[in-house]
Chain A
Amino acid sequence: MSRITLNKLGKSYGQVHVLKDIDLDIVDGELMVFVGPSGCGKSTLLRQIAGLDRPTSGEIRIDGRLVNNVPAADRGLAMVFQSYALYPHMSVRQNLAFGLENARLPRAEIDSRITEAARMLEIGQLLERRPGQLSGGQRQRVAIGRAIVRNPTAFLLDEPLSNLDAELRISTRAELAALHARLGTTMIYVTHDQVEAMTLAHRIVVLRGGQIEQIGAPLELYNKPANRFVAGFIGAPRMNFLECGADGNALVLPGGHTLNKAVPAKGKVTLGIRPQHVKLAANDMGTVPAEVTLVEALGSETVVHTMAAGNQPLLLTLEGQHKVTAGEKVHLKFDDDRLHLFDVEGLRLN
């Protein structure tokens, strides 16, 4: 197990700054997820920690030891690649043994570790096959097995589920969580899928443009997003945003409707409300009028697309099945306790 600390970490390619002043402390045994849109620098950050790239500035410490110039193999970490990166000309057993042979471990020790990993991942029957003869899910297990046999102090996983189909992704996600619980080893997990991040992480790091937007537990990010970007990125469907005016005691929505709400600011603000926190109202008391444009009946829930408050798109997710049709005029009721307010800079106000 290990603690990984990043101090003012930066990475540039010429004039392009991919990572800027990253400060992060990943504690022993933690499952930390880096999440963000494509190009936000999450994989680059993982590669700096792995030792596959050298940072331009700042420090990487593993258990207090500065490792900026320590080769990847000597950092005690193991990585699972997005493409799995299995050696295609070697059998599964040879793939698992390769790193251990490099470390010149005794044959008996190598065999014992392979047997244990194969038992844990249920790949014992695949040991003599080559990667080309395995399914995507099986390859993924072998890639994890290759990391496990090295007994690393931390696992680094770079979008390990992105090549799996939706069903397999869900079951493998659960297996990964169980594996982490069993091993108790520090894990850093990179994904662009916020659902994966929410379901797996102890803490999530949201990245954008090479900078950390927010670090926190999944529900903390969901309930109290630090800024408009995090609010929009975490949660599905994404949060609705309405540009409003504020006078301290009320919000004036586009189209002239007002919501009585204490606002710690005056002037232009952005109101954020998650689709789950908007309901259909029976009357027009304290509600916002809207017109339904599309209804997606998913069985367990109904997603209703509307144009509301001065013709702005607004989405609501209703539990169960509802008889709503496109073109219908409705009234929307916002849950007052779940309103998020952001200033013109996009920072949280309430």
Chain B
Amino acid sequence: MNAQTPSSAASRLTGALLAPVRYLAGIIDLPLRGLQKVTGLTGMASFFLLPNMAIFTIFVLLPLIMNVIYSMTGGTAIFLDSRTFVGAEQYSRLLDCGSYLDSGTCAEDRFWIATSNTAWFVLLQVPLLLVVALVTALVLNRELKARSFWRAVFFFPVLLSPVVVGLIWRWILQRQGLLNLMLFETVGAQPHTWLTDRFWAFAAAIGVSIWAHVGFYALILLAGLQAIPKDIYEAAEMDGTRPSRVFWRITLPLLMPNLLVVLVLALIRAVQVFDEVYVLTGGGPGTSTMYLIQYIFETGFASQLRNPGLAAAASILMGLVLVVLTLVQLGISRTNERKGQR
């Protein structure tokens, strides 16, 4: 009797599973060999890159080119063949201002309101986010009980969809929301209209975006903190360094490369603020929380008198700002790499 050993059974199973692959490989082997004869080895590399290049072209490059073309056309029609070429007229309209500090003097005042709101948002949210992320990272870097749990807690909002973030906080902050209920139950406070008050709505937009993203930045800073050798802190301890001086003279300078990366990433993200705030406030009250992306979206698609050309021009201008910030980030990364190599 022939006893079947486990190894021979396994090899038979592997052979059976691989059979279709071998069959397919056999089918495409001949044409591929033929193609290589025609194109050569470097030509084959291009052939295999083709699918990715096609995806990049269809979903990134073509829309980019079309956006530039749209920004030089006028009218409300969606399809390009129905639109008229207007040159730089859309850009002129966007940039036509009596004073750039007063949106009321601008031809397209909503664009400048959105720009001003975005600038204020960036100026307030980014430094606050940096401080909160740094404090969070410093706390999570300590010897805490259930440290992994706390790290997960702070990172969890990053995993949520921005729409979900917006909905959660709207549920908390609306007039009949959880916050007002808690304030009434605890101190008997009358309900406050957090999301319809200009100041509080702006503060809520900043607070919610910090809550949603701080985990990601704290994680980058935490990695930086953990990369600082323990010996250096022990040397500082032997040197009799006060804790505050340890922070300012050792931790902060050694964390600076990570802080710069976080700063630039947070800047880019803040300029692009939209989804969670749009769900939370809808840009209101009035236009007090309307930011650039919302302006572009509404101008191009959501307003009754839509103007895709103007939206495209605004997005190109915003894109230029993002390109500058990205170049700054690349510069910082390269400088850090060079420092690391030294």
Contact = CB atoms under 8 A, between A and B. Distances in A.
B20 interface: no
Contacts of B245: 102
Given A85-B229, A85-B231, A79 B238 contact: yes
Contact of B249 (A50, A83, A98): A98
A78 B231 contact: no
Given A87-B250, A88-B254, A103 B240 contact: yes
Contacts of B242: 102
Interface in A96-132: 98-99, 102-103, 132
**Interface residue tally of chain B, by bracket?**
20 to 34
B240 A74 contact: yes
Given A88-B254, A132-B342, A133-B342, A81 B239 contact: no
A149 to B, nearest CB: 10
Nearest to B232: A85
Interface residues of A, number: 26
Interface string A62-87: 00000000011110011101110111
B238 A50 contact: yes
A132 B341 CA distance: 9
Q: Which of B235, B236, B249 has the most CB of A within 10 A?
A: B235
Interface string B210-253: 00000000000000000001011011111111100100011001
Contacts of B339: 132
B258 to A, nearest CB: 13
A179 interface: no
Contacts of A103: 240
Nearest to A79: B238
Nearest to A52: B234
Contacts of A51: 237
Contact of A81 (B235, B240, B253, B254): B235
A131 to B, nearest CB: 10
A78 B256 CA distance: 29
B237 A81 contact: no
B233 to A, nearest CB: 9
Nearest to B233: A85
Contacts of A98: 236, 239, 241, 249
Interface string A18-45: 0000000000000000000000000000
A83 B240 contact: no
A132 B336 CA distance: 13
Contacts of A133: 342
Interface in A244-303: none
A81 B228 CA distance: 15
Given A85-B229, A88-B254, A77 B238 contact: yes
Interface in A158-202: none
Nearest to B242: A102
Contacts of B256: 89
A74 B242 CA distance: 12
15 contacts: A71-B240, A72-B237, A72-B240, A77-B238, A83-B231, A85-B229, A85-B232, A85-B235, A88-B254, A99-B239, A102-B239, A102-B245, A133-B342, A146-B235, A150-B239
Given A79-B238, A89-B254, 5 more contacts: A51-B237, A71-B237, A81-B234, A82-B231, A98-B241
Interface of A: 50-52, 71-74, 77-79, 81-83, 85-89, 98-99, 102-103, 132-133, 146, 150
The 10 closest A-B pairs by CB, nearest first: A73-B240, A99-B239, A85-B231, A85-B235, A89-B253, A102-B240, A132-B342, A83-B231, A81-B231, A79-B238
